Amino acid sequence: MRAAYTRAQVRRRIAVLFLVTLAGALLLAARLVYLQLIRSDAFRELALDQRLRPVPVLAQRGKIVDRHGSPLAVSVAADSVYAVPVEVRDVPATTRQLAALLNLDAARVEGLLRQRSASVWIARKVPPEQAEAVRRARLPGIYLVERPQRYYPHGSLAAQVLGIAGIDNQGLEGIEFAYDEVLRGVPGRDLAERDAAGRVIPHGERVYLPPEPGKDVVLAIDQVIQYIAEREIQAAVERTKSDFGLFVAMKPDTGEVVALALSPSFDPNAYGGASAELRRNRVVTDQFEPGSIFKVVTATAALDQGVVKPDDRFFDPGYVEIGGGMVRSWRPGGHGSLTFAEAVYVSSNPVFALVGAERLGPEPFYRYIRAYGFGQPTGIDFPGEASGYVPVPGKVQHGEVLRWANVGFGQGVAVTPIQMVSAAAAIANGGQLLRPQMVREVRGPDGSLERAFEPEPVRRVISPETAQTFVDIMRGVVTEGSGAPAEMAGYPVAGKTGTAQIPEGGRYSDKAVASFLGIVPYDRPELVGLVMLYNLKVYPRWGGTNAAPVFKAIMEPALEYLGVPRRFPPDQRPADNLVTVPNLRMSDGRAAVEELRQAGLLVRAEGEGVYVMDQTPKPGSRVPRGSTVILHLISEPQPGQSLPVPDVRGMGMRDAVATLAGVGFDIDPSGSGVAVSQAPAAGTAAPYGSVVKVRFEADRP
């Protein structure tokens, strides 16, 4: 049995316990001093951070505009409805009201209101009338916030080019996706001090970090040419009962794509109902067997290699046996004896089979095809580009010669439309392949230039001499061959027609693609373009019959609009003693008077104001030197004001567009050449911003 503790032992143990307790108290006190005094600011910040809950503030997405600054995609403020569930007092009643006001499913709304989240979205991008109804209802726990919404002011215009943007300000397709980092800007943050239920604490801390708006993207697309192209492609698809049609136009000296049209199309303002197939930009993402338009590659390669000359003679009996197979002419009985240039005019398959497989041979032919950019992406600034397909020489043991004979006239290869038009641009500009460009510039929110996209040469494909020789041959396709329907008065066209079979299930079907590849004007190229009509259901299905007229219908008014002068024989030019009346509409009155006096013309002003509303004689008229020009003056027009519609009859498309746009009217053009009629009529009062329909007809000598 242990002895009882002595008094001394008890005292020692009490002392030890006291010292331990004291030490613990001192440590605790020191820790409190450290936390309360030394680290107090840090913990105060930490506590504040826990209560400060950030709400993202979306940046204003940058605009997408055409090459002249006309808006194609903009962001506008739109109301969105959200709920703070803990603040909703009567869930069933609130559910009924919200479902009725917003046309929503009641069960879905109730499920959202019963969530245990700080806040939930009820509806985004709410129409203004619905938003106002919710605002007037003043439902507890229900709030509205303005968020940017993407809006496409011209509806389906250039839809497959622009693409779409999602509800959270993100680019999903097209240029919206390709340039998303440029367009979307930097989101801001609204930090408010909130309690555990997510409610804002009155008079609490609040920090607002403003968003940085996105930058603007300036396309190479020209809105007016794009409108003309879409109208004509849609009409051609309907007329030929094609599955779809496309058109792409490029400036051969820069590689800029000035128009890219597909039909059918869709409205990106309501893209939810449009299929992925409808939204696809087939000019870039789809590949096709080109058929006879690929003969421009075969011909230029052979001419550049020196294995054929334009006047070399061939014989087309209707077929040629080559490489163990047979290549037939599209014309029964063939074309007989003809030169190589004539073989291009009439699109002789047997001649091009021989040139591709024997005169050139697989290896040199392959090098030229690759040099033109086929079988690889062009590098265009657009997502989802396809590479196409080009066979590699020596990969098959049997049938090599027949394979390259087929390639010679456009079978057994696959190309994208953008590759094909880039190759045509290289021929038109003297042999230099350029990277195709969809975008010209990037500008800051204030309009300042941040980046300009210069032409990007890729490589020289053929010599300038070869290019000029073949453009002259292509001219003969229009003047003497199958491309005659593409010819325009005063705008000489060089081109190549194509009618390609559509492969299905490992063999060629009875379906066809009609196409036309053209350069205009052929001797001073301004534009190159490609028309394709896929699986057309009218006969004959030739490219010259169906696609060439579409090329003309688009390019003729486009060149008029661009101000490219028509060139006629010398005996039909205006006399030198006449003066051309300048276009003075919507110019400053004093400057107009000075310009007329310098041109040797007299002036009489009518009306009050500082701007020229109209003039007599019309712009472009040829009058004797010393004639009087009457200027009709008005004050500067204001939005909402009714104005007399200018008389644009007798004007070319470019002057008509400039005149109407200068006053504040939009134009809906049809035809090409000189304006012959308009609606509303000249002098009729119409609201600022109205559309004037103008009919143009060719002004032939």
End-to-end CA separation in angstroms for the chain? 138
Q: Please state, in angstroms and rounded to a whole number, the distance separating the CA atoms of residues 437 and 379.
A: 9
Q: Please state, in angstroms and rounded to a whole number, the distance separating the CA atoms of residues 372 and 298.
A: 11
Q: How far is CA 129 from the centre of its chain?
A: 32
What is the full DSSP assignment across 618-666? PTT-EEETT-EEEEEEEPPP-TT-EEEPP--TT-BHHHHHHHHHHHT-E
CATH superfamily for domain 223-562: DD-peptidase/beta-lactamase superfamily (3.40.710.10)
Q: Please state, in angstroms and rounded to a whole number, the distance separating the CA atoms of residues 521 and 643.
A: 38
Q: Please state, in angstroms and rounded to a whole number, the distance separating the CA atoms of residues 127 and 134.
A: 11
What are the b/e assignments for 482-503, b being 16+ CB within 10 Å?
A: bbbbbbbebbbbbbbbbbbbbe
Contacts of 580 (CB under 8 A, 6+ apart): 574, 599, 620, 621, 622
3 state SS of 219: strand
Give the 3-state secondary structure of 465-534. HHHHHHHHHHHHHHHCCCCHHHCECCECCEEEEEEEEEEECCEEEEEEEEEEEEEECCCCCCEEEEEEEE
Question: Dihedral of CA 661/665/666/668: which sign?
Answer: negative
Among 251, 272, 273, smallest CA distance to 260 is for 251
Element (H, E) at 675: strand 674-679
Confirm if 207 and 201 have CB atoms less than 8 A apart.
no
Q: What pLDDT is attached to residue 201?
A: 64
Q: Please state, in angstroms and rounded to a whole number, the distance separating the CA atoms of residues 143 and 84.
A: 8
- Tokens (6 digits) for 157: 């215009």
Distances (CA, A) of 219 to 9, 64, 160, 437: 95, 7, 13, 9
Distances (CA, A) of 697 to 356, 570, 675: 43, 22, 6
* Fold type of domain 571-697: Trypsin Inhibitor V; Chain A (3.30.10)
- Which residue do the tokens 């037939």 mark? 328
Q: Please state, in angstroms and rounded to a whole number, the distance separating the CA atoms of residues 413 and 404.
A: 10
Mean pLDDT per block of 10 residues along the chain (701 residues) reads 67 81 82 70 59 69 90 84 82 84 84 79 80 84 80 90 85 91 85 61 70 91 92 94 96 96 91 85 94 94 94 89 84 85 91 92 94 94 92 78 90 94 96 95 91 94 96 92 86 92 84 94 95 92 91 90 78 58 71 80 73 72 74 62 76 77 77 86 77 79 43
Q: Please state, in angstroms and rounded to a whole number, the distance separating the CA atoms of residues 501 and 514.
A: 9
DSSP state of 346: H
What would you measure as the largest C-alpha separation in the chain, in angstroms?
Answer: 144
**Per-domain residue ranges of the chain:** 7-52, 55-219, 223-562, 571-697
Q: How far is CA 254 from the centre of its chain?
A: 17
Confirm if 233 and 515 have CB atoms less than 8 A apart.
no
What are the b/e assignments for 315-347, b being 16+ CB within 10 Å?
A: ebebebebbeeebebbeeebbeebbbbbbbbbb
Which residues are marked as active site?
292
Confirm if 479 and 454 have CB atoms less than 8 A apart.
no
548-562 vs 653-663: helix axis angle to the nearest 10? Answer: 60
Architecture of domain 55-219: Alpha-Beta Complex (3.90)
Cis peptide before 669 (omega within 30 of 0): no
pTM of the model: 0.73
Q: Please state, in angstroms and rounded to a whole number, the distance separating the CA atoms of residues 558 and 518.
A: 14
Confirm if 81 and 143 have CB atoms less than 8 A apart.
yes
